[in-house]
Structure 1
Amino acid sequence: MENLVQAYNTTRAHTQNLCKPLQIEDYTPQSAAFASPPKWHLAHTTWFFEELILKKHVTNYKVFDPSYGFLFNSYYNSLGDRIQRGHRGLITRPSVDEIYKYREHIDREMNVLLKNLPSHEVLALTTLGINHEQQHQELLITDLKFTFSHNPTYPKYKDTNYTCKAPKTNEWLECTEGIFTVGHTTDDFCYDNELGAHRVFLEPFKIAKDLVTNGEFIAFIEDNAYKNPKYWLDNGWQWLQNNQISHPLYWKSINGKWHQYTLSGLQPVDLEAIVTHISYYEASAYAFWAGYRL
């Protein structure tokens, strides 16, 4: 039980630590329907514990604010109506301060509940909620980067740009043919899409150990591959044309040199770093151009 309480509090604290570099103006903007504001992530992950656990498992529990169920539900149709996804950035009220008070309230209630020998259902839901919040931690930074990248000042989130390099081996990993079990098979936590374990037969194949670098991907760009339909799946080619895509997300050509927006601002593309923020279509086209497949 102590481990679960610690995991809960550690996870909740980490979400707020991710927001420490933000200024108050950063919490609310929404740059696209798929990119939620940091304030919404803070509130939604809190709503999860209130809606699925506290309201159902604490006698005479009083909700923090009745309107939050509508404002901070996401896609849980069975749990009531919700604001349109693309309108999350319009929630200027409640304030950021109120959302942090909401988190404090829920954390107090959850700690009391967890320290009083709750049922197996509460423990399972808490574990689910922790994993759910960890997902939103990744989403929070992903969405924030997308929003910051649309700011013409290219604001810095942290000094670290989080680009990664990997050693080049030019080696391939060989996988023999066989029957393999796919899916979750233990009693440990998993999401429902990991269930339904089944066997599959795989033909023998090789997979490259090396990750594609920015420098290698620039060669793909400079070969006019973004303008050559023979490398692209039909849906991918339509995606290019409809969205006028000619380079990876966050890349920008300045005076003939490639730059990319990172969490530490706009910087020259590191040729040795691993290429990131490309779509499945771009990855597939690159592999075909290079003489391989995904």
Structure 2
Amino acid sequence: MRYEGTVYRPPSEAESLLIQATIGCPHNDCTFCGMYRDTKFRIRSVADIKEDLLMARDFYGDKVRSIFFPDGNTILMKTDQLLEILYYAREMFPYLKRMTVYGSAKFMKLKKLNEFRLLREAGLTRIHSGMESGDDEVLRRIKKGFTAAEMIEEGLKVREAGLELSEYILLGIGGRERTQEHALESARVLNAFTPDFVRFRTYVPWKGTPLYDDYQQGRFHLLSPYEVLRETRLLIANLEDPFELLSDHMSNYAPINGNIPKDKPEMIETIDRLLAVPEDNFKQMDSGLL
């Protein structure tokens, strides 16, 4: 098996076999992200990907249960190529339960509903998607490449196809100026298409990115721990439809995990308890860490 560059994968894919299908990110313009900034995007050949799957089978045996295909926005691959890879993976690993990829609304919209259905039938289980915010102004500023309306449209399409959707919300990405809009609009958009999972991340400035420079120059005002918690509380208070909410990342201040709406009162109570703790007790995120 071969992997070019730094390995990035969701925490929930910690136990998954990683088989690189694409290198870098075809968008690579988000102002906050430094994951693939110095990497030229390209799609690996189907032959190379299948060769890696074969090598993995020879090394691990055929009992692999989960595969994640990095890098960024692997959903961009031509549908017939993805189908060939998925079917071959099932041939190599007959006990597979899950196969997943990254995919943003910008690239999900390139596929029709029937293509997503074909991918599901071939074994694709879940798409990890970085929505980041439901506020159009925040999306414009961070250059996500899609609008809230497009996210809703693509979310509904993916869900209709029977695929699981795991959405990522970046707490604090609106800064102090748009914290309320970021929370309320993110809740509105999530309620509109109801992903299976919503996962929180807290924004930490990443050195070498445009938004880091804005932060250093005082053009972007980073939220304090209390402000992040209040933003999180506002967002959760406005979530309605059923899905699993997870705070499965070290950047977060609040350990809130559970099901919406059933566990919403307990989540809000947890945040209120944290807001009663002196703010100095929270370790402020260090912008030099990334």
Whichever of the two has the greater Rg, that structure is 1
Work out whether the TM-score is over 0.5: no
TM-score, normalised with respect to structure 1: 0.27
Give the structure with the larger helix fraction. Answer: 1
